[in-house]
């Protein structure tokens, strides 16, 4: 069974930094694109950043220049370095992966359970 587990969330003051991690486990044939999404209470889940298997990245306008997405393919792990955090960055951050499980030739989208990031003034 494929699982994604996020870690690294917590409480931080505005202007501070956090580094999130997402580890994929299970019988995985290939991980294609991965990404980070976030959702504040009562709001939609929004794209934060994505990264392809080859390392190409894209970012939401709201985080460009402040956040950096990366991945370690050998470890099936993705990271999000968050700098210069703002109050509006407060949300639950979710890991997403589009991958091929070892049991099927089809691509599936998987989600982690989320990790809370709270930015205080």
Please report the pLDDT score of residue 120 as a whole number: 97
| pLDDT of 1 over the 90 cut | no
Residues 56-90: tens digit of each pLDDT: 999 999 999 999 999 999 999 999 999 999 999 99
Burial 78-103 (b: 16+ CB within 10 A, else e): bbbebeebeeebbbbbbbbbbbbbee
Please report the pLDDT score of residue 62 as a whole number: 97
Please report the pLDDT score of residue 86 as a whole number: 98
DSSP secondary structure letter of residue 95: E
- 92 touches 115 (CB < 8 A): yes
- 93 touches 40 (CB < 8 A): no
| pLDDT of 103 over the 90 cut | no
């Amino acid at each position: 069974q494929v699982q994604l587990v996020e870690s690294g969330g917590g409480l931080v003051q505005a202007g501070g930094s956090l580094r999130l991690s997402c580890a994929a486990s299970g019988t995985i044939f290939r991980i294609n694109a991965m990404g980070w999404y976030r959702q504040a209470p009562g709001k939609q889940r929004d794209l934060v950043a994505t990264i392809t298997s080859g390392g190409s990245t894209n970012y939401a306008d709201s985080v460009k220049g402040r956040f950096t997405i990366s991945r370690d393919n050998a470890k099936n792990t993705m990271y999000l370095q968050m700098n210069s955090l703002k109050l509006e960055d407060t949300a639950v951050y979710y890991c997403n992966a589009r991958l091929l499980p070892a049991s099927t030739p089809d691509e599936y989208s998987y989600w982690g359970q989320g990790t809370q990031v709270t930015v205080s003034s």
